Amino acid sequence: MALRLVSCQLAGMTSSIDILPNRTTGPLVAALLYDGLCTFEFGIVSEVFGLERPEMGPGWYRFASCAIEPGPLRAQGGFSITPDQGPDLLEEADIIVVPGWKGASVDVPEALSKRLRAVHDRGARLVSICSGAFVLAATGLLDGAVAATHWRSADALRARFPRVEVDAASLYRCHGRVSTSAGSAAGIDLLIEIVKRDFGPEAANSVARRLVVPAHRTGGQAQFLERPVPAHRGGQIAPLLDRMRETLDQDWPVERMARNCGMSLRTFLRRFHDATGSTPGDWLIAERVEAAKTLLCGGPLGIEAVAEAVGFGSAHALRHHFRTRTGLAPSAYRQRFLPVAEVHKA
């Protein structure tokens, strides 16, 4: 099946199928197309910038898709795609969006990096969604800057581009005229922020309402992180960790941990870090927060009861550590991640 991606008329050129003539004169947004296109990421760019929004007036965005390599091009989901324009469109674009990339280990063509550097030099803005950060990092424009990407890709981005400071916690980061976003849906947050900067909060709120999303989300990526399962290299440490997880409501001073392992305090601290990559205190707090997440979304326990059950002792301590780790208050987390059936009951 072929899917033609069209949005507008550009510089007197129209697509080969009938579309309404473009009535806007605002910034030209070009979304890059490549073989293996991330369909969702492209879709949200088209949704925000490519839909006709007459209520926004004639200065609203113009939009077109732009192939960066010869076809045939395919998108995730089994679609073949036909772009509006070729790479020369980048010379005209005011905003260029990289909607994901082929993979963290896939090299970015130097010709593309060179072209993106050139259009940035002339004043264009560059935007990436999720793994699209690898494309912008390859240009060198993020060297010495802070960039966001999906938390699962953060280590790979650091390894490939050590001069880029990778932020695995934020939903998006902006550095001058280069902006990067975290996982796929975080691209919506960044695109709405761009609308806000270009057209003001009322326009951003209008777009957000059309998408049925909040105009601004709090909490960053930390609320979505999976707890890593460490590869325990210390045979005496692993049983202790299991015991602590089963008794999080108890006090676990580091001296008690060391006694349970039959080690001196100094030896225990060294081996604990070797096994987990963390200090005992940080590890215990992280486990208690994870347990609190489960309890918050699994039943009607109050915040104080949850705090007691996971060993924080007080609602105040739970709120402090929970917000530090996730960016959200426990009550906000419960409301956001409570199963749908429970929401309807409430």
pLDDT at position 237, please?
A: 86
Q: Which of 124-133, 198-207, 279-288 is predicted least confidently?
A: 198-207
Please give the mean pLDDT across all residues of the chain: 83
* pLDDT surpassing 80 at residue 270: yes
pLDDT at position 327, please?
A: 82
Average pLDDT of the segment spanning 269-297: 88
* pLDDT surpassing 70 at residue 228: no
pLDDT at position 294, please?
A: 83
pLDDT at position 214, please?
A: 63
Q: Which of 11-25, 58-72, 156-170, 288-302 is predicted least confidently?
A: 11-25
Q: Which of 5-14, 71-80, 115-124, 290-299 is predicted least confidently?
A: 5-14
Average pLDDT of the segment spanning 93-104: 95
Average pLDDT of the segment spanning 71-85: 87
pTM: 0.62
**313-342: buried (b, 16+ CB within 10 Å) or exposed (e) per residue?**
eebeebbebbbebbbbbbebbbeeebeeee
pLDDT in tens, 27-56: 999 999 999 999 999 999 999 999 989 889
**Cβ–Cβ under 8 Å, residues 158 and 148:** no
Crossing angle, helix 254-261 and helix 237-246, to 10 degrees? Answer: 130
Average pLDDT of the segment spanning 262-289: 90
Largest CA distance in the chain: 79
pLDDT in tens, 128-176: 999 999 999 999 999 999 999 998 899 999 999 999 999 887 888 999 9
Q: Binning pLDDT at 50, 70 and 90, where does residue 311 land?
A: very high
Cis, peptide link before residue 300, omega less than 30° from 0:
no
User: What percentage of the chain has pLDDT greater than the value 70?
Assistant: 84
- CA 89 to chain CA centroid, Å, is 27
pLDDT at position 345, please?
A: 39
CATH homologous superfamily of 2-223: Class I glutamine amidotransferase (GATase) domain (3.40.50.880)
Q: Which two tokens stand for residue 287?
A: 């486990």
* pLDDT surpassing 80 at residue 235: no
| Domain boundaries, given as residue ranges, for the chain | 2-223, 237-345
pLDDT at position 215, please?
A: 62
257 or 333, greater pLDDT: 257
pLDDT in tens, 112-129: 999 999 999 999 999 999
pLDDT at position 337, please?
A: 65
Q: Which residues contact 283 (CB under 8 A, 6 or more apart)?
A: 241, 272, 276
The DSSP code sequence of 4-43 is E-----BTTB--SS--PPP---SPEEEEEE-TTB-HHHHH
H or E stretch covering 295:
helix 280-298
pLDDT in tens, 7-29: 333 333 333 323 334 578 899 99
- In CATH terms, the fold of domain 237-345 is Arc Repressor Mutant, subunit A (1.10.10)
Q: Binning pLDDT at 50, 70 and 90, where does residue 216 land?
A: low
